[in-house]
Structure 1
């Protein structure tokens, strides 16, 4: 079968489209014939991470398709059933942090950028019926990350004001839609005028220029909750826009790995700082119900065939996308 793999060397030079062996399900597993999958920043980072094995690994964490075969003992799914893949491995129930042994699908395990995948049955869920294949294929990782950040960690409430720095990523666009569905007000930031315009069309209450003075653009208003993935480039302005007692949830480091926290404003502000990543199977199911109830659809940027994987990776690397980049299988 055709698959997008990372082999040797590190970086984009190790990204290849090649033939891999078709998987056969073992006990407790299913094989899914994938209709679509979704690209995430994690897939780019994986190109530059050292792995214990030098064998080619199929990339990709997001996917949706049709059950092709079921292994011994699997009774929850039938051949022909339409499903989405839960990329959170080894995290069954909601908890303060993932348990030991937690992994994300797609390196070191074979992922979803292929025509088929073999996976544990507990990591497969029925596909939301209102979504197209392309939409379902890009849903899992970003929507799960957004759901846990917003509800489990951020504890957003109806009527609260949420700030999302760096609108445009898959997670950020899910955060915007989910927050609006929950009755929150949402302000977003972006350096791009076009992305600010798109965010307003998607439902944002306000969109400000990341390069400008946030306090001035927001007329001094502060927010209840910030959900950030940018890091040091915007961290000081994020803290400045938090009301006393406000919460900040971080799930990324796109502008760097280290921030300096001004302690006096932090402790006088009585702020709560939280980290988050991905989520549990329990939260994945909650997310699917929320998405179905509110008819939320992923914002689609572009889709590519697997044969054009490099073009898709480069588009994300250059930060040109608004919403999700996906792959579709013929």
Structure 2
């Protein structure tokens, strides 16, 4: 029998993880959500949208034999680890094309095993079975639960520089699509970006359009939540540095600026572009102007 890809359960983003004993907490890995399927037709790995990426993950497909299952569907994440042992999204694409041996599949749920559909079982039971078929030390790993109080776990996850954590109801069934049975709480980080312009429309929040420093790649917008004094200073700086729109960008009610204004932006960690972002501060770029004899 050829098993079909099952659309994944998608967690709901929340500000804080839920408290109480009814939840299992796990690290939110910074990688590609993937589904590993084993059946009579071999082993396949799909992206979260159901695209067959088996050919890209040849080493992990071979490793899947270690599970010893006749048939299985495992929900998980494909990651690459950095020197500190943390998942590193920026290295992932390079590893897929050039460093297959650096890839890991971290399994966190088991939807099917040996001709049995497990989706109506409680999450805790599904995970116990999954843990029992994954041999420690290999490149297919089990996403271990994080012990302790949710608030303390979130603090440690943040301090460790991880993307966030996922909390799952112990007794929940697996249902495809968005769900509040799984909640993800993400950590924030502050980084500097180049200011491209400011969008201001009457009756709407103002926001800053930001670009990656060095490349000029547009990464998204950040709400301007500065106090009145800093806001007025920003408007003046923007007017004094008025410039033309970057190539290919057309936005109504936007005042574009010349390069040279750097914004400190608070945003969700582990995203390619800005999400839930706010401008915290800004400054003019310092240009090195060495004097003779320095």
TM-score by length of 2: 0.29
Q: Which has the larger radius of gyration?
A: 2
Larger helix percent:
1
Larger strand percent:
2
TM-score by length of 1: 0.27
